Amino acid sequence: MTRALITGITGQDGVLLAQNLLDRGYEVIGFGRRPSVLARADLHPLFRRLTLFYGDAANSVDLADALLHHQPEELYNLAAQSAPGASWAQSLDTGEITAMGAHRLFEAVRRFAPKCRLYHASSSEMFGTVLESPQNENTPFNPANPYAAAKVYAHQMAHVYRRSYGMFIACGILFNHESPLRRMNFLTQKVAHGAACAKLGIGDSPLLNEEGEPVVRGGKLALGNLDAARDWGHARDYVEAMRRMVQHRQPDDFVVGTGKLRTVRDLCQAAYGYVDKDWRDFVTSDPRFLRPSETGPTVADASKAQRELDWSPTISFDAMLAEMVDAQVAALRTPLPAALPR
């Protein structure tokens, strides 16, 4: 039985990757912060199938302890401050976890588990204000926010450790990938929630957006830049690409995406169209959600992953959105836990 450790076990990809590996008979160790693990009651059935290790990626001792204690054969480094939009306001925290957290982990693996095969979560955000399209493994980086700069640092350090010490560190340059597990501070989940509210006739949403206000207020969903363009795929497909990178004969970099570019408007049209609504009646552009500088348009040339990993996306954009909107409808129909004392 292969033993794999996953950092970022409470995140979207950590959950879906854990499911993928457990279904293949892996033993999985989930590294995560205790309060986050305990708070995610919805994930406790999954967590019961794996071994939890409480730790913080800001703490080298926690990482070393996890490695020494469990001696994993595979390690998937997914922990990060993962929101580019929040990374201007949290630039130092982002550097501490997204850049230095990865560096700390590489160093801990070098010292305490040097034979371990490692996957590191790089990102299409590294291409930033893109210098060519579509982007492949040789496209120059041009980061446009603190998150992207931190990911470039971690990516370069992965290469340094690979070259200097012969460590197996595969870097997945993954483009945007989504699922019903997406957090509410990301675009697709806001739009899925907005479409679900429109379907159910809910004018004021029970959930909060990035600004701590109802995601839908007075029947309107406030977004930022409607012209931004991305390459969106389904996270279940992308965690399978991670697994294949770790099984590959050598550590390498792989771009993973669908190759299809869509705008925020396209996304809104598809999601509200799914519930037979016209998105223009519901969506507004609010300057508070605009970013000081925009990444993109990011669109993948994933031909290397197709060729060398035999990987290609299997879930369509429309099927992904339908799954997300349906999940939001189901959640909105489920009563919230009893109200807290006022």
Active site residues: 123, 125, 147
Ramachandran region of residue 35, left (φ > 0), alpha (ψ -120 to 50) or beta? Answer: alpha
Binding span for ligand GDR by CB under 6 A among 37-45, 51-59, 79-87, 323-331: 79-87
Nearest to 150 by CA among 202, 70, 212, 92: 92
259: left (phi over 0), alpha (psi -120 to 50) or beta: left
Contact between 19 and ligand GDR (CB under 6 A)?
no
How far is the C-alpha of 136 from the C-alpha of 133, rounded, in Å? 8
Helix axes 264-274, 317-333, angle to 10 degrees: 60
CA-to-CA distance for 45 and 104, rounded, in angstroms?
30
Q: Is 146 in the site for ligand GDR (CB under 6 A)?
A: no
- Asked whether position 84 contacts ligand GDR by CB under 6 A, the answer is yes
Residue 126's binding partner out of ligand GDR, ligand NDP, none, with CB under 5 to 8 Å set by partner kind: none
Min. distance of Cβ 113 from ligand NDP in angstroms?
A: 18
Closer by beta carbon to ligand NDP, 13 or else 210: 13
Q: Under DSSP, is residue 84 helix (H, G, I), strand (E, B) or coil?
A: helix
Interface map 36-55 toward ligand NDP (x if CB under 6 A): x-------------------
- Residue 254 and residue 135: Cα distance in Å, rounded? 11
Give the number of other CB atoms < 10 A from CB of residue 25. 8
Cα–Cα distances in angstroms (integers) from residue 28 to residues 1, 42, 171, 232, 257, in the given order: 10, 18, 20, 28, 26
Q: Are 253 and 120 in contact (CB under 8 A)?
A: no
Instruction: Report DSSP letters for 272-294, one per residue.
Output: HHHTT--GGGTEEE-GGG--SS-
Q: Which of residues 195-234 bind ligand GDR (CB under 6 A)?
A: 223-225, 228, 230
79 binds, among ligand GDR, ligand NDP, none (CB under 5 to 8 A by kind): ligand NDP
Asked if 259 contacts 134 with a C-beta cutoff of 8 angstroms, the reply is yes
Chosen residue from 6, 18, 66, 121 binding ligand NDP by CB under 6 A = 121
Q: Would you count residue 8 as binding ligand NDP (CB under 6 A)?
A: yes
Among 10, 50, 57, 125, binds ligand GDR (CB under 6 A): 125
Q: Which does 196 bind (CB under 5 to 8 A by kind): ligand NDP, ligand GDR, none?
A: none
- Under rule CB under 6 A, which residues in 72-101 are in contact with ligand NDP? 78-82, 97
For residue 87 the two structure tokens come to 């990374």
CB-nearer residue toward ligand GDR: 64 or 299: 299
Among 52, 58, 184, 331, binds ligand NDP (CB under 6 A): 58
Q: Is residue 190 at the binding interface for ligand GDR, with CB under 6 A as the rule? A: yes
Pick 67 or 158: Cβ nearer ligand GDR: 158
Question: CB-wise, 39 or 200, nearer to ligand NDP?
Answer: 39
Asked if residues 305 and 256 have their Cβ atoms less than 8 Å apart, the reply is yes
Task: Give the interface with ligand NDP as residue ranges (CB under 6 A).
Answer: 8-14, 32-33, 36, 56-58, 78-82, 97, 121, 123, 174, 176-177, 183
Task: Give the interface with ligand GDR as residue ranges (CB under 6 A).
Answer: 82, 84-85, 123-125, 175-176, 185-187, 190, 223-225, 228, 230, 264, 289, 291, 294
